[in-house]
Amino acid sequence: MAPQVIRLPDGQTFTVTPVFAGLGFKSHELNTHHNAFPVGWTVVLNTESDDGSDDDTDKQDVENR
């Protein structure tokens, strides 16, 4: 995905670029607005980790055969 410019109804513009497995947003008007994102927007970060429980199940299956 190539970087794209989006324009919001309130006049702000953002460049959207792929970052790892998500998207990065960079405002073009940080000096003219008090907040980087419009009112009501929320940024949610989600991470997942492999706890290894699947590996234990696989080992038990092999031992039972």
Number of structural domains found in the chain: 1
Collect all residues with Cβ–Cβ distance below 8 Å to 43 and sequence separation of at least 6.
Answer: 37
**3-state SS, residue 63:** helix
Q: What is the pLDDT of residue 32?
A: 60
30 or 49, higher pLDDT = 49
Provide the residue count of the chain.
65
Contact indicator for 24, 37 with CB cutoff of 8 Å? no
* 15-42 confidence digits (pLDDT tens): 888 888 788 888 777 666 566 666 667 6
Q: Which domain holds residue 32?
A: 4-64
Task: Give the global pTM.
Answer: 0.43
Contact indicator for 13, 7 with CB cutoff of 8 Å? yes
